[in-house]
Amino acid sequence: MNSLIGTYECKADAKGRLMLPAALKKQLTPVLQNGFVLKRAVFQPCLELYPMAEWEILMRKVNTLNRFKKKNNDFIRRFTAGVKIIDVDTNGRLLIPKDLTVFASISKNVVVSSAINIVEIWDKDKYEQAIDNATVDFADLAEEVMGQDEDGDGVS
C-alpha cells in the first residue's frame, strides 16, 4: 500500500459512525474489502485505524516476542486492549465502538489524519492541542529523528 496523505475534519453522528472523507476513501479503495483494525494509540489519546494487511505485518512482529517474559506479555496485553475489527459500510461509514470513543474522548467534531500507512482518528480539540504542544520542539525532534549525521544515515 502506498503512503496515505491528508488530514480531514469530519463529524461523528450520535451512534459513533464516521463518514470517511472522499479523498481518504479513494486512497483506501484497494484495501476496503479486507477490513480494518481499530485500536487505542500507544502515545496519544487517539485511535489508530490499520488496514488489515498492515495489522498483519505488525502482528507478525509482535508474535516474535517471547511470551515467557512478563514485560513482553504485559506489552501484548496492553497493546491489544480494545482492538476491534472494523468494516466500512456501503455508505463509506465506519462505526467507532463506544469503548474506543470514550478512550479517545471523541465527540462530534473529528480529525482523521494519515500517518503513513495507518489513519489516526482524533477528537478535534485533542488533535489541535497535540499539534500545538508538538510545535515548540518539532524542529529539534525533526533534526534528531531525520537529520542523523552526514554519513548518509539521515534523510535528505
With respect to residue 2, please indicate whether it lies within any of the assigned structural domains: no
With respect to residue 155, please indicate whether it lies within any of the assigned structural domains: no
Quick: pLDDT tens for 83-140. Answer: 999 999 988 899 999 999 999 999 899 999 999 899 999 999 999 988 887 666 777 7
The pLDDT, as a whole number, for residue 136 is 62
Query: Is the pLDDT confidence value at 65 over 60?
Result: yes
With respect to residue 87, please indicate whether it lies within any of the assigned structural domains: yes
Q: What is the mean pLDDT of residues 23-29?
A: 90
Share the mean pLDDT of the chain. 89
CATH of the domain at 132: 3.40.1550.20
The pLDDT, as a whole number, for residue 150 is 61
Domain range enclosing 136: 10-147
With respect to residue 46, please indicate whether it lies within any of the assigned structural domains: yes
With respect to residue 92, please indicate whether it lies within any of the assigned structural domains: yes
Specify the DSSP class assigned to residue 96: P
Please name the residues in contact with 62: beta carbons below 8 A apart, sequence gap of 6 or more: 76, 79
- Based on the number of CB atoms within 10 Å of its own CB, is 21 exposed (0-12), middle (13-18) or buried (19 or more)? middle
With respect to residue 154, please indicate whether it lies within any of the assigned structural domains: no
User: How many structural domains does the chain have?
Assistant: 1
With respect to residue 32, please indicate whether it lies within any of the assigned structural domains: yes
Record the pTM: 0.86
- Based on the number of CB atoms within 10 Å of its own CB, is 61 exposed (0-12), middle (13-18) or buried (19 or more)? exposed
With respect to residue 84, please indicate whether it lies within any of the assigned structural domains: yes
The pLDDT, as a whole number, for residue 62 is 94
H runs (alpha helix) in the chain: 22-28, 52-62, 70-79, 98-103, 124-135, 138-142
Sheet with 7-11, side-by-side order of all strands: 7-11, 109-115, 118-123, 47-51, 36-40, 84-86
